[in-house]
């Protein structure tokens, strides 16, 4: 089976920064047609303007995907530009601290809205378009019609009180991935996830600057002994989006340098 995504159309959310941007750039480099989606319009314009796009296969869309109309507009813009959608990568995420003993703390609700419901609603809307498009075309009855990849975190399985909201939202996203995988399998749409460990994201950079000794602590808790770059998640996402994973659905691939193999729950999972 091929790992190629050349010629496929993909929507990548969270594509203005960090892991979402790394995935979007990786897909472009592998010949995919990519819609970069994010709230940060200025950053999207800067990033997409730097990409060598001779064939006009890069577009960007700015908007708040927590709003239903924005979701529909993103899907319509992608179909207008590229004629369809083959791949959705939900890479938009937010990290906030939680005070687990403060009943007025709203971070759990905020992070569920951003990290779970945005991905869930966009996945549902994209899946409906994929199904409708497949019904209009003559296809091999065994051929897959689409792939959805949710970018998650090992925080779903690791515990740190200050990241309670983030952990809950990541765990909820993983379960949504499994549930959607079962629901969409009869429609030949695969749904999988990639859960990463300590990745050199903007939020982790801020934490490293604010917390003395955090860098060495993370390295000690990671068997491979380092913090990953955003690029190191992209290969796993490509695999799940490609025909090479044609019989893989409902799986959460862990990319964490072996960190979750250790019996240690005291270090924050970024």
pLDDT in tens, 48-83: 987 766 668 999 999 999 999 999 999 999 999 999
- Percent of the chain surpassing pLDDT 90: 74
139 pLDDT above the threshold of 90: no
Mean pLDDT in the chain? 92
Q: What is the pLDDT of residue 238?
A: 98
CATH number, position 190: 3.40.50.720
140 pLDDT above the threshold of 70: no
262 pLDDT above the threshold of 80: yes
- Percent of the chain surpassing pLDDT 70: 93
pLDDT in tens, 115-124: 999 999 999 9
Asked if 90 and 119 count as a contact pair (C-beta separation under 8 A), the reply is yes
In a domain, 3, yes or no: no
Q: What is the mean pLDDT of residues 228-236?
A: 91
What is the pTM assigned to this prediction? 0.93
Tokens 């998640």 label which residue? Answer: 233
Q: What is the pLDDT of residue 265?
A: 45
Q: Count how many domains the chain has.
A: 1
In a domain, 179, yes or no: yes
267 pLDDT above the threshold of 70: no
Model confidence at 138, pLDDT cuts 50, 70, 90, reads low
pLDDT in tens, 179-206: 999 999 999 999 999 999 888 877 777 7
In a domain, 266, yes or no: no
Q: What is the pLDDT of residue 134?
A: 85
Q: What is the mean pLDDT of residues 20-49?
A: 96
Pairing, β 58-62 against β 33-38: parallel
Model confidence at 127, pLDDT cuts 50, 70, 90, reads very high
266 pLDDT above the threshold of 50: no
264 pLDDT above the threshold of 90: no
Q: What is the pLDDT of residue 263?
A: 67
222 pLDDT above the threshold of 80: yes
Q: What is the pLDDT of residue 55?
A: 66
In a domain, 127, yes or no: yes
In a domain, 81, yes or no: yes
Q: What is the pLDDT of residue 51?
A: 78
d(Cα 24, Cα 36) in Å, to the nearest integer? 7
Q: What is the mean pLDDT of residues 224-238?
A: 92
In a domain, 1, yes or no: no
Kindly calculate the radius of gyration of the chain based on its CA atoms and give it in whole angstroms: 18
In a domain, 142, yes or no: yes
Instruction: List the domain range (segments joined by +) for residue 82.
Output: 9-261
Who's near 266: CB < 8 A, 6+ residues apart? 160
pLDDT in tens, 204-221: 777 788 888 888 988 998
Q: Which of 163, 147, 240, 172 is nearest to 197 (CA)?
A: 163
Q: What is the pLDDT of residue 2?
A: 87
Asked if 162 and 268 count as a contact pair (C-beta separation under 8 A), the reply is yes
18 pLDDT above the threshold of 60: yes
Pairing, β 189-196 against β 33-38: unpaired
Asked if 192 and 241 count as a contact pair (C-beta separation under 8 A), the reply is no
In a domain, 62, yes or no: yes
């Amino acid at each position: 089976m091929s790992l190629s995504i050349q010629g496929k159309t993909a929507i990548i959310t969270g594509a203005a920064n960090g892991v979402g941007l790394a995935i979007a750039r990786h897909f472009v480099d592998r010949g995919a047609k990519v819609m970069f989606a994010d709230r940060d319009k200025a950053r999207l314009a800067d990033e997409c303007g730097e990409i060598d796009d001779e064939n006009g296969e890069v577009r960007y869309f700015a908007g708040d995907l927590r709003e239903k109309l924005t979701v529909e507009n993103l899907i319509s813009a992608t179909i207008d530009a590229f004629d369809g959608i083959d791949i959705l990568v939900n890479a938009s995420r937010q990290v906030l601290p939680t005070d687990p003993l403060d009943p007025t703390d709203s971070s759990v609700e905020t992070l569920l809205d951003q990290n779970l419901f945005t991905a869930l609603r966009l996945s549902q809307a994209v899946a409906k378009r994929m199904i409708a498009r497949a019904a209009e075309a003559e296809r091999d009855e065994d051929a897959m019609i689409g792939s959805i990849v949710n970018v998650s975190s090992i925080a779903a399985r690791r515990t740190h009180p200050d990241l309670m909201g983030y952990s809950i939202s990541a765990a909820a996203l993983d379960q949504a991935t499994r549930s959607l995988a079962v629901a969409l399998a009869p429609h030949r749409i695969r749904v999988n996830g990639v859960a990463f460990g300590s990745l050199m994201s903007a939020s982790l950079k801020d934490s490293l600057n604010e917390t003395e000794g955090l860098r060495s602590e993370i390295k000690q808790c990671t068997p491979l002994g380092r913090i990953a770059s955003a690029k190191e998640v992209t290969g796993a996402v490509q695999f799940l989006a490609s025909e090479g994973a044609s019989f893989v659905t409902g799986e959460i691939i862990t990319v964490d340098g072996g960190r979750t193999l250790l019996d240690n729950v005291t270090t924050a999972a970024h």
